[in-house]
Chains A and B, each alone.
Chain A
Amino acid sequence: MGTRNPVTWLGSPKFPDAARTALANTQLRSNLRKATGTIRGRRAAAVDEMPDWEDLRLAGEALKDEVLANLDVYLERLEKSVTERGGVVHWARDAAEANEIVLRLVRETGSDEVVKVKSMATAEIGLNEALEAGGVTAIETDLAELIVQLGNDRPSHILVPAIHRNRSEIREIFRREMPDVPEGLTDEPRDLAEAARAHLRRKFLSAKVAVSGANFAVADTGSIVVLESEGNGRMCLTLPETLITVMGIEKLVPTWSDLEVFLQLLPRSSTAERMNPYTSVWTGVTPGDGPQAFHLVLLDNGRTSTLADEVGRQALRCIRCSACLNVCPVYERTGGESYGSVYPGPIGAILTPQLVDDPHDKQAASLPFASSLCGACYEVCPVRINIPEVLTHLRARSVTARGRSPESIAMAAAAWVFSSPSRYERAQKLATFAKLISRNGRITRLPGPGAAWTSSRDAPVPAKQSFRAWWKENRG
């Protein structure tokens, strides 16, 4: 492995430790409970009114699987069609290469400032930091991204990166950090949005270069699609002279008509909207209309190795809707920062460790264990990623990479006991001795790893007689 993959944040603790800190933040808990609860309900209503939702999910899954199975073919087709329409295609193996390409392209324009459309791919590679190091200022224009950027904060949600902030916190960030903040700014959402609008409008009108991600790219036509809700994307994608799009190589759809499926699945799953508010599509360069230079950076950054894993590759179907975050009981309580990555929640728990692709990275290895396997994520996923299946698969990978440990010895011992009914029976008899540490029918303190259980729950007192012993005595 060469340079560190910036998909995880340097110095992030392992999930259980990061979560412990987050759980103690009462403001965060309240903000998240309110936000995820609201969006969960709205999504359920938007999905329930679709009689063919399950068919759409199956279609989405099938299309993505078709693309992943023939990715080489579709990528070359995309390169050809983009090039034919006047765009320039660049290939980036990893984050460092992608950042280098973008920085070089910006420098070639002579500009030292770019406006940005909210993009997970550029967050994944740490583009803003790389541009800053190269003397280029990146300005986030999505409201939530702007809040995160001004607050010198980290994104905590794929769709709503400032979900961990409430409106009075946002007002404080604006008052502190926005250079042209209006006097007497209130915490009314309308006022906050107006302040951001005025601040951003000046940037839109002056910027020469925009950087975006892509929700979809049509291999046949070379068309790139961006979905957003605020109109900031439309400004960035049409006003500047140069447009640079960074896109993960899995974002393809074969043909134009395949978009029909995803333009139904994505808005209802993410923002609970029936139709997406601003859907921008462009194909190469159109003389006299919009950016006159278009660059497409195709990013691998761990995707090819993810694709090689038969179980894990389904994570590449993800269309970044966030539905799994909003229904996840773990995410709802710990928030996004605990995952130590731009991809939090259930999808992050399976995507991050695969993109990092380093079995000895303990932080990334802790992520697949950050789930009770309740399955709520799989139930809502618009492209039917079986997240619990990938979680247990990656857990096995972590266990193998870790080698011998107290846990692996205990698990082997348990399997040895369970593999013989007579050993199992003797172990059951031994377990009844746990009664000795009970008081008034309760066990309030267990030794060893059991202490984590009794930190908040009493442990059951084993019965005097197991069912097996009862059966032998009465029915055997």
Chain B
Amino acid sequence: MQKVVEKSPKVALFATCLTDTLYPATARAVVTLLERLGCSVEFPLDQTCCGQMHFNTGYPDHARGLAGSYERTFAGYDAVIIPSGSCTGMVRDIHPQLGAEPAPTYELSEFLVDVLGVTDVGAYFPHRVTYHPTCHSLRMLGVGDKPLSLLRAVRGLDLVALPDAESCCGFGGTFALKNADTSTAMLSDKMRHVLDTGSEVLTAGDNSCLMHIGGGLSRLRTGVRPVHLAEILASTEEDPWAPATR
């Protein structure tokens, strides 16, 4: 993949439909973080959705249209940053199968570590945190320990390893609805492991998985809060993270 080499790369943010609509604080955090690191961030307003839900549920024709829109919206950018492993996987692995040629697209932690070459982003987050490696970031993208290396460099952050971290939380898009009972059985084991760490915060690179695990943690009143990786990395001593007001 082509790498961005300019001193101040001009990049586009693809917020994803889920984060744009339900978790805008994550997208604002990406902008804050990338600008702090010297990037100039654009948000092309023609963007909507990558088509993953359609493709994975068995509607590739609808997904094909959305892959085409993505290609046109981001044509000409050196890099598109997505705060989601699974949407990045959809764009990079599946869009070409659907006949689209997307601009170079990176999941946030990949862009920070591989392209910008930073692990210490100057963040401050004084909380006990555990990290769930989401399936698509792990297996489709192969982000490896990039998110962990970013978290380890955050000042004040107490990182606790999540037992059985690599097993799926049970979200799987429409799987969570079509096979709700099985999904819940997977979720319950994931929540048990999260609680075992004694963490206040659960983080990941995907708001979809966090919505799922977080929805379960909230239902059980566990008091553990899901926070996207971008929000932790954007937090500083001068401008510390605060829960989003809704």
Contacts and interface: CB of A to CB of B under 8 A. Distances in A.
A467 B24 contact: yes
B177 A421 contact: no
A411 B58 CA distance: 10
Q: Is the interface of B mostly helix, strand, loop or mixed?
A: helix
Interface in A396-418: 396-400, 407-408, 411-412, 414-415, 417-418
- Highest count of chain B CB atoms <10 Å: which of A19, A330, A444, A455: A330
A329 B186 contact: yes
Identify the interface centre among A398, A419, A428, A456: most chain B CB within 10 Å of its CB. A456
B80 to A, nearest CB: 15
B62 A415 contact: yes
Interface in A361-393: 369-376, 378-379, 392
Contacts of A428: 20-21
B55 A330 contact: no
A221 to B, nearest CB: 39
Contacts of A465: 24
A468 B138 CA distance: 28
A457 B140 contact: no
Interface string B166-195: 111011110111111111111100000000
Contacts of B166: 376
B219 A329 contact: no
A4 interface: no
Contacts of B95: none
Interface in B1-59: 15, 17, 19-25, 27-28, 43, 45-49, 51, 53-59
Interface in A13-31: 15-16, 19-20, 23, 29
Contacts of B57: 395, 399, 407, 411
B60 interface: yes
B157 interface: no
Contacts of A16: 178-182
Nearest to B207: A460
A407 B51 CA distance: 16
A411 B135 CA distance: 24
A455 B182 CA distance: 12
A415 B54 contact: yes
A101 interface: no
B65 interface: yes
B182 A424 contact: no
A464 B246 contact: yes
A348 to B, nearest CB: 15
Interface residues of B, number: 65
B115 to A, nearest CB: 22
B167 A329 contact: yes
B60 A396 contact: yes
A431 interface: yes
Interface in A461-476: 461-468, 470-472, 475-476
B228 interface: no
Nearest to A456: B184
Contacts of B21: 428, 431, 462-463, 466-467
Given A329-B167, A421-B47, A468-B15, A414 B216 contact: no
Contact of B66 (A29, A400, A419): A419
A399 B23 CA distance: 31
Contacts of B69: 418-419
Contacts of A457: 184, 187, 212, 215-216, 218-219
Given A463-B23, A467-B28, A19 B246 contact: no
A19 B181 contact: yes
B244 interface: yes
A424 B73 CA distance: 15
B136 interface: yes
A104 B219 CA distance: 61
B46 A372 contact: no
B211 interface: yes
Interface string A329-344: 1100110000000000
Contacts of B139: 374-376, 378-379
Nearest to B50: A418
B45 A421 contact: yes
Contacts of B65: 415, 419
Interface in B144-164: none
B23 A372 contact: no
Name which of A373, A417, A435, A455 has the most chain B CB atoms within 10 A of its CB: A373
25 contacts: A16-B181, A19-B181, A20-B181, A23-B182, A330-B186, A372-B175, A373-B56, A395-B56, A400-B58, A412-B62, A418-B69, A419-B66, A420-B48, A421-B47, A452-B177, A452-B178, A453-B177, A453-B215, A457-B218, A458-B218, A458-B219, A459-B215, A463-B25, A465-B24, A475-B43
Given A392-B60, A441-B246, 7 more contacts: A329-B167, A372-B183, A372-B186, A375-B140, A379-B139, A392-B58, A467-B27
Closest 9 CB pairs of A and B: A372-B172, A457-B215, A395-B58, A415-B62, A374-B168, A399-B58, A467-B24, A375-B139, A374-B135
